[in-house]
Chains A and B, each alone.
Chain A
Amino acid sequence: MPPRLRCPASASLTASISRSAVSSRPAMLAIASTSSTRSYATSLSSKSSLGGLRLPDDYVPPTKPPTARPPEVRKAQLLRTYTSLLRSTPLILVFQHNNLTALEWAAVRRELRLALAAISSNPDDALVTADVKLQIIRTRIFDVALKIVEFFDPSSVAPVKSGSNKNRVYNHDLSKAAYKAIKSVSEEPEKVADTAYGQLSPLMVGPLAVLTFPAVSPAHLAAALSILAPQAPAFPAPSRKKSPGYYDPTVQNALQKLLLVGGRIEGKVFDVDGVRWVGGIEGGLDSLRAQLVYLLQSAGLGLTSALEGASKSLWLTMESRRSVLEEESKPAEAAAEPDGEKKE
């Protein structure tokens, strides 16, 4: 069996975390240097805590020392990363990756970046391009995150009355309430099957990578598909002349091992054909909106003309009837007038 590499889940989030970690390091050092204020259970020298019979707020139990793992690889942090990713990202493609090497990942990401940069001419597109990320995920944790996003409603959690802090609400994704919510759901498998999680959960098998877009933009999706999962007529691979790097053996090897298995677009689950269909929408969402507006406008035109038509035809018949009556009355008048003259 080949060795498996565990890669950090998200380059961007890792970067942001490390940035924040760097910024908070002086503060951490300051705390460490004045560690006499922090009370460990073994060092009972601090007299203040004995007198009050209340543990200080920064008490660290000896059985649960602060973790030494870097924050970006902690499971708790990963779970929070994934839930926020799922809540904020409308367009996610799921890939299965079969033993890609680090070099191949770098090459694929490079080609993806180049292809996306080619279509981002206006600033809006460039904003989307900047946040398109291809990242490896921890499948089981992502599965749990999907469950939390689907079944846990943070606003429904009741505040906790007991304790020194009245009315505290513990509704974060690592809370007991979240755990209970997903636990109660997993006991009823027949209910789960219809939900988005139920449809997506069979995909969560084996090594996975997700491609996330910050907005539903068919143009970007099409560009990404033509790199990662090219298909001849609709999403052709870039030509050899335009992007010679794409025909690098490293990239080609990598693409053979990447397998698009599905996607989640605006909360709905799509298979490969569905994803390609979304990518094939020409002109993006704006053109769809324009089509809708045109449809509504033309429907309105038809309606007004249909409503108008009845009154118009009525008016026409009345008008023709009037003209007929006038025609009829004229000769009668003409015939009556000489009679009157005769009478007079």
Chain B
Amino acid sequence: MISRFLTEVNTKFNPFSKQAKAARLFLTFLPPNARATGINIQTTLLPRQSTEPSMLYLKFKDGKEMNIDCEKMGIKSIIEEVDRHSRVLQKQADLTDS
């Protein structure tokens, strides 16, 4: 996953629900030095009885915000979605560099 262009990751999930899987796995795809490279990561754990849907909110360097529905999407499609925008930003960055 291209995580260079992310500035903010907010997740909220109840680990005792099956639907939290995608949100939890998304956190594992961030690199070890993600916080040092300027990504603001916040995780909120919901209590066990709560039925609130799990939430994943992303913000990119160009200001685009993404609210991803973790209940329906699997981790693969989430990453696809994030990479689709990241590749656009990468292309722009490459063009401005050269």
Interface residues of A (CB under 8 A from B): 1-2, 96, 98-101, 104, 199, 202-203, 205-207, 253, 256-257, 259-262, 271-274
Contact = CB atoms under 8 A, between A and B. Distances in A.
Contacts of A203: 15-16
B15 A2 contact: no
B30 A271 contact: no
14 contacts: A96-B15, A96-B24, A98-B30, A99-B31, A104-B32, A202-B21, A205-B21, A206-B24, A253-B33, A256-B35, A256-B41, A257-B32, A259-B27, A259-B45
B16 A271 contact: yes
Nearest to A4: B28
Interface string B9-27: 0000001111011001101
Q: 3 smallest A-B Cβ distances: which pairs?
A: A271-B48, A261-B15, A99-B32
Contacts of B47: 271-273
Given A100-B32, A256-B41, A199 B25 contact: no
A253 B1 CA distance: 21
Interface of B: 1, 15-18, 20-21, 24-25, 27-36, 41, 43, 45, 47-48
Contact of A253 (B18, B20, B21, B35): B35
Contacts of A2: 31-32
Contacts of A273: 47-48
A202 B15 contact: yes
A2 B32 CA distance: 8
Contacts of B18: 202
- Report which residue of B1, B15, B31, B47 has the largest number of chain A beta carbons within 10 angstroms of its beta carbon: B15
Nearest to B29: A1
Secondary structure type dominating chain B contacts: loop
Nearest to A252: B35
A253 B16 CA distance: 26
- Report which residue of B32, B36, B47, B48 has the largest number of chain A beta carbons within 10 angstroms of its beta carbon: B32
A98 B20 contact: no
Contacts of A100: 32
A73 B33 CA distance: 28
Nearest to A101: B32
B16 to A, nearest CB: 5
Contact of A99 (B30, B36, B48): B30
Contacts of A259: 27, 43, 45
A206 B27 CA distance: 10
A228 to B, nearest CB: 14
A98 B30 CA distance: 8
Given A101-B32, A257-B32, A272-B45, A262 B27 contact: no
A326 B36 CA distance: 97
B6 to A, nearest CB: 14
Contacts of B34: 99
Contacts of B17: 202
A1 B48 CA distance: 31
B28 A99 contact: yes
B27 A98 contact: yes
A96 B27 contact: yes
Given A202-B18, A203-B16, A271-B16, A261 B27 contact: no
A92 B19 CA distance: 23
A273 to B, nearest CB: 6
Contacts of A256: 35, 41
A262 B15 CA distance: 8
Given A199-B16, A262-B15, A271-B16, A206 B41 contact: no
Nearest to B14: A271
B85 to A, nearest CB: 17
Contacts of A260: 45
A19 to B, nearest CB: 32
Given A256-B41, A259-B43, A272-B45, A202 B16 contact: yes
Nearest to B33: A253
